[in-house]
Protein backbone atom coordinates (compact mmCIF):
# COMPACT_ATOMS: atom_id res chain seq x y z
CA UNK A 1 0.00 0.00 0.00
CA UNK A 2 2.67 2.27 1.07
CA UNK A 3 4.57 1.48 -2.08
CA UNK A 4 1.44 1.92 -4.25
CA UNK A 5 0.66 5.08 -2.47
CA UNK A 6 4.11 6.34 -2.88
CA UNK A 7 4.17 5.54 -6.63
CA UNK A 8 0.72 6.87 -7.48
CA UNK A 9 0.87 10.01 -5.46
CA UNK A 10 3.92 11.43 -7.19
CA UNK A 11 2.32 10.59 -10.57
CA UNK A 12 -0.87 12.41 -9.68
CA UNK A 13 1.13 15.21 -8.21
CA UNK A 14 3.26 15.44 -11.32
CA UNK A 15 0.18 15.65 -13.55
CA UNK A 16 -1.40 18.17 -11.26
CA UNK A 17 1.81 20.10 -11.23
CA UNK A 18 2.15 20.02 -15.00
CA UNK A 19 -1.47 21.09 -15.36
CA UNK A 20 -1.04 23.79 -12.80
CA UNK A 21 2.16 25.08 -14.39
CA UNK A 22 0.71 25.06 -17.89
CA UNK A 23 -2.41 26.71 -16.48
CA UNK A 24 -0.31 29.44 -14.94
CA UNK A 25 1.67 29.71 -18.16
CA UNK A 26 -1.53 30.02 -20.20
CA UNK A 27 -2.91 32.66 -17.90
CA UNK A 28 0.47 34.39 -18.04
CA UNK A 29 0.50 34.41 -21.83
CA UNK A 30 -3.12 35.55 -21.92
CA UNK A 31 -2.32 38.32 -19.47
CA UNK A 32 0.72 39.30 -21.51
CA UNK A 33 -1.37 39.40 -24.67
CA UNK A 34 -4.03 41.49 -23.01
CA UNK A 35 -1.96 43.81 -20.87
CA UNK A 36 -1.12 46.76 -23.09
CA UNK A 37 2.29 48.35 -22.76
CA UNK A 38 1.90 51.95 -21.70
CA UNK A 39 4.03 54.36 -23.69
CA UNK A 40 4.79 57.70 -22.02
CA UNK A 41 5.06 60.51 -24.53
CA UNK A 42 6.27 63.95 -23.42
CA UNK A 43 6.56 67.44 -24.86
CA UNK A 44 6.87 70.98 -23.50
CA UNK A 45 3.90 72.69 -25.11
CA UNK A 46 0.25 73.08 -24.12
CA UNK A 47 -2.70 70.83 -24.95
CA UNK A 48 -3.73 73.21 -27.73
CA UNK A 49 -0.32 73.23 -29.45
CA UNK A 50 0.88 71.75 -32.73
CA UNK A 51 2.90 69.24 -30.66
CA UNK A 52 -0.33 68.06 -29.03
CA UNK A 53 -1.88 67.66 -32.48
CA UNK A 54 1.17 65.52 -33.31
CA UNK A 55 0.98 63.61 -30.03
CA UNK A 56 -2.71 62.80 -30.64
CA UNK A 57 -1.89 61.56 -34.13
CA UNK A 58 0.95 59.41 -32.74
CA UNK A 59 -1.36 57.90 -30.13
CA UNK A 60 -4.13 57.21 -32.62
CA UNK A 61 -1.75 55.57 -35.10
CA UNK A 62 0.25 53.47 -32.64
CA UNK A 63 -2.83 52.17 -30.83
CA UNK A 64 -4.53 51.35 -34.13
CA UNK A 65 -1.50 49.74 -35.80
CA UNK A 66 -0.67 47.65 -32.74
CA UNK A 67 -4.32 46.74 -32.19
CA UNK A 68 -4.09 47.97 -28.61
CA UNK A 69 -0.80 46.26 -27.75
CA UNK A 70 0.51 49.73 -26.91
CA UNK A 71 -1.38 52.58 -25.28
CA UNK A 72 0.01 56.09 -25.33
CA UNK A 73 -0.24 58.50 -22.40
CA UNK A 74 0.52 62.11 -23.33
CA UNK A 75 2.38 64.37 -20.88
CA UNK A 76 2.17 67.97 -22.04
CA UNK A 77 3.40 71.41 -20.87
CA UNK A 78 6.76 70.09 -19.70
CA UNK A 79 5.20 67.93 -16.98
CA UNK A 80 8.04 65.43 -17.60
CA UNK A 81 10.62 68.24 -17.61
CA UNK A 82 12.22 70.50 -20.17
CA UNK A 83 13.44 69.19 -23.52
CA UNK A 84 16.99 68.51 -22.30
CA UNK A 85 15.70 66.59 -19.30
CA UNK A 86 13.29 64.56 -21.42
CA UNK A 87 16.07 63.60 -23.84
CA UNK A 88 18.07 62.38 -20.84
CA UNK A 89 14.92 60.50 -19.78
CA UNK A 90 14.91 58.67 -23.12
CA UNK A 91 18.50 57.58 -22.60
CA UNK A 92 17.81 56.10 -19.18
CA UNK A 93 14.35 54.78 -20.02
CA UNK A 94 12.17 56.99 -17.77
CA UNK A 95 10.46 58.45 -20.86
CA UNK A 96 9.52 56.42 -23.97
CA UNK A 97 8.79 58.96 -26.70
CA UNK A 98 9.51 62.70 -26.87
CA UNK A 99 8.51 65.38 -29.34
CA UNK A 100 11.17 68.06 -29.06
CA UNK A 101 12.71 70.92 -30.96
CA UNK A 102 16.36 70.50 -31.89
CA UNK A 103 17.09 73.20 -29.27
CA UNK A 104 18.97 71.06 -26.75
CA UNK A 105 19.59 68.13 -29.11
CA UNK A 106 23.03 69.30 -30.25
CA UNK A 107 24.27 68.82 -26.68
CA UNK A 108 23.65 65.10 -27.23
CA UNK A 109 24.05 64.72 -31.00
CA UNK A 110 26.39 67.52 -32.20
CA UNK A 111 25.74 66.55 -35.85
CA UNK A 112 22.30 68.22 -35.54
CA UNK A 113 23.73 71.68 -34.71
CA UNK A 114 23.94 72.32 -38.44
CA UNK A 115 20.12 72.46 -38.57
CA UNK A 116 20.07 75.30 -36.05
CA UNK A 117 22.11 77.69 -38.18
CA UNK A 118 20.25 80.96 -38.76
CA UNK A 119 18.80 81.56 -42.23
CA UNK A 120 19.73 78.06 -43.37
CA UNK A 121 16.36 77.45 -45.02
CA UNK A 122 14.35 79.97 -47.01
CA UNK A 123 10.88 78.59 -46.49
CA UNK A 124 8.86 75.67 -45.15
CA UNK A 125 8.85 73.69 -48.41
CA UNK A 126 12.63 73.78 -48.56
CA UNK A 127 13.14 72.77 -44.92
CA UNK A 128 10.64 69.92 -45.15
CA UNK A 129 12.14 68.74 -48.44
CA UNK A 130 15.65 68.53 -46.92
CA UNK A 131 14.48 66.80 -43.74
CA UNK A 132 12.47 64.29 -45.79
CA UNK A 133 15.49 63.50 -47.97
CA UNK A 134 18.32 61.02 -47.46
CA UNK A 135 20.12 63.77 -45.48
CA UNK A 136 17.29 63.84 -42.96
CA UNK A 137 17.41 60.04 -42.72
CA UNK A 138 21.16 60.17 -42.19
CA UNK A 139 20.75 62.62 -39.32
CA UNK A 140 17.96 60.50 -37.82
CA UNK A 141 20.31 57.52 -37.84
CA UNK A 142 22.97 59.50 -35.97
CA UNK A 143 20.68 59.44 -32.93
CA UNK A 144 21.54 55.75 -32.64
CA UNK A 145 25.16 56.60 -31.73
CA UNK A 146 23.94 58.56 -28.70
CA UNK A 147 21.46 56.19 -26.99
CA UNK A 148 18.49 57.71 -28.79
CA UNK A 149 16.26 56.53 -31.61
CA UNK A 150 15.25 59.06 -34.26
CA UNK A 151 11.74 58.10 -35.38
CA UNK A 152 10.82 61.03 -37.64
CA UNK A 153 11.51 64.69 -38.32
CA UNK A 154 8.58 66.84 -37.37
CA UNK A 155 8.24 70.60 -37.03
CA UNK A 156 8.26 73.58 -34.71
CA UNK A 157 8.50 76.37 -37.30
CA UNK A 158 10.37 79.53 -38.30
CA UNK A 159 11.33 81.48 -35.21
CA UNK A 160 10.53 85.15 -34.63
CA UNK A 161 11.54 87.62 -31.97
CA UNK A 162 9.16 88.94 -29.30
CA UNK A 163 9.90 91.38 -26.48
CA UNK A 164 8.35 93.60 -23.87
CA UNK A 165 10.40 96.74 -24.54
CA UNK A 166 10.21 98.11 -28.08
CA UNK A 167 9.53 97.49 -31.73
CA UNK A 168 12.46 95.77 -33.39
CA UNK A 169 13.14 96.31 -37.07
CA UNK A 170 16.93 95.99 -37.25
CA UNK A 171 19.65 94.16 -35.30
CA UNK A 172 20.60 97.54 -33.77
CA UNK A 173 17.16 97.66 -32.13
CA UNK A 174 17.94 94.38 -30.39
CA UNK A 175 21.15 95.76 -28.89
CA UNK A 176 21.40 94.94 -25.20
CA UNK A 177 18.05 93.16 -25.09
CA UNK A 178 18.03 90.18 -22.74
CA UNK A 179 16.72 87.44 -24.99
CA UNK A 180 15.98 83.95 -23.77
CA UNK A 181 17.37 81.41 -26.21
CA UNK A 182 17.13 77.66 -26.21
CA UNK A 183 19.99 75.76 -24.60
CA UNK A 184 21.75 75.71 -27.95
CA UNK A 185 25.20 77.15 -28.55
CA UNK A 186 24.55 78.01 -32.21
CA UNK A 187 21.50 80.09 -31.25
CA UNK A 188 23.33 81.78 -28.39
CA UNK A 189 26.16 82.75 -30.71
CA UNK A 190 23.75 84.14 -33.31
CA UNK A 191 22.11 86.41 -30.72
CA UNK A 192 25.45 87.50 -29.35
CA UNK A 193 26.43 88.50 -32.88
CA UNK A 194 23.22 90.53 -33.16
CA UNK A 195 24.24 92.50 -30.09
CA UNK A 196 21.59 91.02 -27.82
CA UNK A 197 22.31 89.36 -24.48
CA UNK A 198 21.36 85.70 -24.92
CA UNK A 199 20.13 83.88 -21.83
CA UNK A 200 19.74 80.13 -22.33
CA UNK A 201 16.84 78.66 -20.41
CA UNK A 202 14.56 75.62 -20.52
CA UNK A 203 11.15 76.33 -22.02
CA UNK A 204 9.04 75.49 -18.93
CA UNK A 205 10.77 78.36 -17.07
CA UNK A 206 10.22 80.90 -19.84
CA UNK A 207 6.74 82.28 -19.19
CA UNK A 208 7.55 83.15 -15.57
CA UNK A 209 10.92 84.63 -16.59
CA UNK A 210 9.14 86.94 -19.05
CA UNK A 211 6.47 87.78 -16.53
CA UNK A 212 9.01 88.67 -13.86
CA UNK A 213 11.24 90.56 -16.27
CA UNK A 214 14.23 88.26 -15.81
CA UNK A 215 14.46 88.45 -19.59
CA UNK A 216 12.98 91.05 -21.96
CA UNK A 217 12.32 88.83 -24.92
CA UNK A 218 12.34 85.42 -26.44
CA UNK A 219 12.12 83.90 -29.90
CA UNK A 220 9.79 81.16 -31.04
CA UNK A 221 7.57 80.23 -33.97
CA UNK A 222 4.01 81.63 -34.30
CA UNK A 223 2.79 78.19 -33.26
CA UNK A 224 4.50 78.39 -29.86
CA UNK A 225 3.67 82.08 -29.30
CA UNK A 226 -0.01 81.24 -29.86
CA UNK A 227 -0.04 78.02 -27.82
CA UNK A 228 1.65 79.72 -24.84
CA UNK A 229 -0.37 82.99 -24.75
CA UNK A 230 2.86 84.96 -24.87
CA UNK A 231 0.82 88.11 -25.64
CA UNK A 232 0.10 88.22 -21.92
CA UNK A 233 3.77 89.02 -21.24
CA UNK A 234 5.13 90.31 -24.58
CA UNK A 235 3.89 93.37 -26.49
CA UNK A 236 6.07 93.28 -29.60
CA UNK A 237 6.57 90.66 -32.26
CA UNK A 238 8.98 91.04 -35.20
CA UNK A 239 8.65 88.50 -37.99
CA UNK A 240 12.39 87.94 -38.32
CA UNK A 241 12.08 84.26 -39.31
CA UNK A 242 15.75 84.10 -38.30
CA UNK A 243 15.95 80.36 -38.02
CA UNK A 244 13.89 77.33 -38.94
CA UNK A 245 13.26 75.22 -35.86
CA UNK A 246 12.97 71.54 -36.75
CA UNK A 247 11.42 69.16 -34.28
CA UNK A 248 11.93 65.45 -33.95
CA UNK A 249 10.05 62.46 -32.61
CA UNK A 250 12.57 60.53 -30.52
CA UNK A 251 12.17 57.10 -28.96
CA UNK A 252 13.96 55.45 -26.06
CA UNK A 253 16.24 52.55 -26.97
CA UNK A 254 15.43 51.05 -23.57
CA UNK A 255 11.90 50.37 -24.83
CA UNK A 256 12.41 50.10 -28.57
CA UNK A 257 15.47 47.82 -28.63
CA UNK A 258 13.41 45.15 -26.87
CA UNK A 259 10.69 45.15 -29.53
CA UNK A 260 10.32 43.15 -32.73
CA UNK A 261 10.98 44.76 -36.12
CA UNK A 262 7.24 44.85 -36.74
CA UNK A 263 6.58 46.65 -33.46
CA UNK A 264 9.36 49.16 -34.09
CA UNK A 265 7.86 49.70 -37.53
CA UNK A 266 4.57 50.75 -35.89
CA UNK A 267 6.43 53.35 -33.83
CA UNK A 268 8.06 54.75 -36.98
CA UNK A 269 4.78 54.82 -38.86
CA UNK A 270 3.05 56.53 -35.94
CA UNK A 271 5.87 59.12 -35.77
CA UNK A 272 5.48 59.88 -39.49
CA UNK A 273 1.71 60.29 -39.02
CA UNK A 274 2.47 62.59 -36.08
CA UNK A 275 4.82 64.71 -38.19
CA UNK A 276 2.27 65.03 -41.00
CA UNK A 277 -0.44 66.21 -38.60
CA UNK A 278 1.96 68.64 -36.91
CA UNK A 279 3.11 70.18 -40.19
CA UNK A 280 -0.50 70.72 -41.25
CA UNK A 281 -1.19 72.51 -37.97
CA UNK A 282 1.97 74.63 -38.36
CA UNK A 283 0.85 75.65 -41.84
CA UNK A 284 -2.63 76.56 -40.55
CA UNK A 285 -1.16 78.71 -37.77
CA UNK A 286 1.23 80.39 -40.19
CA UNK A 287 -1.89 81.51 -42.09
CA UNK A 288 -4.05 82.44 -39.10
CA UNK A 289 -1.75 83.00 -36.13
CA UNK A 290 -0.53 86.56 -36.72
CA UNK A 291 -4.11 87.91 -36.86
CA UNK A 292 -4.84 86.06 -33.63
CA UNK A 293 -1.81 87.61 -31.93
CA UNK A 294 -2.82 91.09 -33.12
CA UNK A 295 -6.35 90.53 -31.82
CA UNK A 296 -4.75 89.76 -28.48
CA UNK A 297 -2.93 93.07 -28.44
CA UNK A 298 0.52 92.34 -29.85
CA UNK A 299 2.14 94.90 -32.13
CA UNK A 300 3.43 92.86 -35.05
CA UNK A 301 6.19 94.12 -37.32
CA UNK A 302 5.70 92.15 -40.51
CA UNK A 303 7.86 93.95 -43.11
CA UNK A 304 11.29 93.12 -41.77
CA UNK A 305 14.33 93.54 -43.99
CA UNK A 306 16.17 90.37 -43.06
CA UNK A 307 19.43 91.22 -44.87
CA UNK A 308 21.01 93.08 -41.89
CA UNK A 309 20.03 90.24 -39.59
CA UNK A 310 21.58 87.74 -41.99
CA UNK A 311 24.74 89.78 -42.11
CA UNK A 312 24.88 90.18 -38.34
CA UNK A 313 24.73 86.43 -37.69
CA UNK A 314 27.30 85.51 -40.36
CA UNK A 315 30.10 84.95 -37.80
CA UNK A 316 27.96 82.20 -36.26
CA UNK A 317 28.54 80.25 -39.50
CA UNK A 318 32.30 80.69 -39.25
CA UNK A 319 32.36 79.62 -35.63
CA UNK A 320 30.17 76.64 -36.45
CA UNK A 321 32.23 75.45 -39.43
CA UNK A 322 35.53 75.87 -37.63
CA UNK A 323 34.24 73.49 -34.98
CA UNK A 324 32.08 71.05 -36.95
CA UNK A 325 33.37 71.32 -40.52
CA UNK A 326 31.60 72.26 -43.73
CA UNK A 327 30.65 68.90 -45.20
CA UNK A 328 27.10 68.44 -43.90
CA UNK A 329 26.36 72.15 -44.20
CA UNK A 330 27.36 72.14 -47.88
CA UNK A 331 25.35 69.00 -48.60
CA UNK A 332 22.29 70.57 -46.95
CA UNK A 333 22.74 73.83 -48.87
CA UNK A 334 23.12 71.93 -52.13
CA UNK A 335 20.03 69.84 -51.43
CA UNK A 336 18.04 72.90 -50.36
CA UNK A 337 18.86 74.70 -53.61
CA UNK A 338 17.50 71.75 -55.61
CA UNK A 339 14.31 71.43 -53.54
O1 LIG B 1 9.92 72.88 -28.78
O2 LIG B 1 12.30 75.84 -26.12
C3 LIG B 1 11.74 76.34 -27.10
O4 LIG B 1 11.73 77.55 -27.31
C5 LIG B 1 11.03 75.43 -28.08
O6 LIG B 1 10.73 76.11 -29.25
C7 LIG B 1 9.76 74.89 -27.46
O8 LIG B 1 10.10 74.20 -26.28
C9 LIG B 1 9.06 73.91 -28.39
Q: How far is CA 69 from the centre of its chain?
A: 24
Plot region of 111 (φ>0 → left; ψ -120 to 50 → alpha; else → beta): alpha
Each residue's pLDDT expressed in tens, for the chain with a length of 339 residues: 333 333 333 333 444 444 444 444 444 444 455 689 999 999 999 999 999 999 999 999 999 999 999 999 999 999 999 999 999 999 999 999 999 999 999 999 999 999 999 999 999 999 999 999 999 999 999 999 999 999 999 999 999 999 999 999 999 999 999 999 999 999 999 999 999 999 999 999 999 999 999 999 999 999 999 999 999 999 999 999 999 999 999 999 999 999 999 999 999 999 999 999 999 999 999 999 999 999 999 999 999 999 999 999 998 899 999 999 999 999 999 999 999
The runs of H, that is alpha helices, within the chain are 2-34, 50-65, 83-92, 124-131, 134-142, 185-193, 206-211, 222-227, 253-256, 261-295, 307-312, 314-324, 327-338
Residue nearest to atom 3 of ligand 1 (CA): 203
Q: With beta carbons less than 8 A apart as the criterion, state whether 237 and 299 touch.
A: yes
With residues binned 3-state (H G I as helix, E B as strand, rest as coil), the percentages for the chain, rounded to 5, are 55, 20, 25
Gyration radius of the chain over CA positions: 25
C-alpha torsion 61→67→70→74, nearest 10: 40
The residue contributing the CA closest to ligand 1 atom 8 is 203
Which pTM was predicted?
0.89
C-alpha torsion sign, points 328, 239, 201, 94: negative
209 in Cβ contact with 201 (< 8 Å): yes
C-alpha 291/C-alpha 306 separation (Å) is 21
Ligand 1-lining residues (CB < 6 angstroms): 44-45, 83, 100-101, 103, 156, 182, 203, 220, 224, 245
Amino acid sequence: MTKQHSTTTPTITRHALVAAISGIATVGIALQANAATEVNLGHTLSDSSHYSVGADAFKEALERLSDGEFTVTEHTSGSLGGEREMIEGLQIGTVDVVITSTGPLGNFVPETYVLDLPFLFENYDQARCVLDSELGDELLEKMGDHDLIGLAWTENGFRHLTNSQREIATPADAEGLRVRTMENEVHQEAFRQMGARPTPMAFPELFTALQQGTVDGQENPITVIVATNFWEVQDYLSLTGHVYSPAIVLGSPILLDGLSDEERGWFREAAVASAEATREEVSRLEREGVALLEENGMTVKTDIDVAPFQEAVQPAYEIFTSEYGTEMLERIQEKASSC
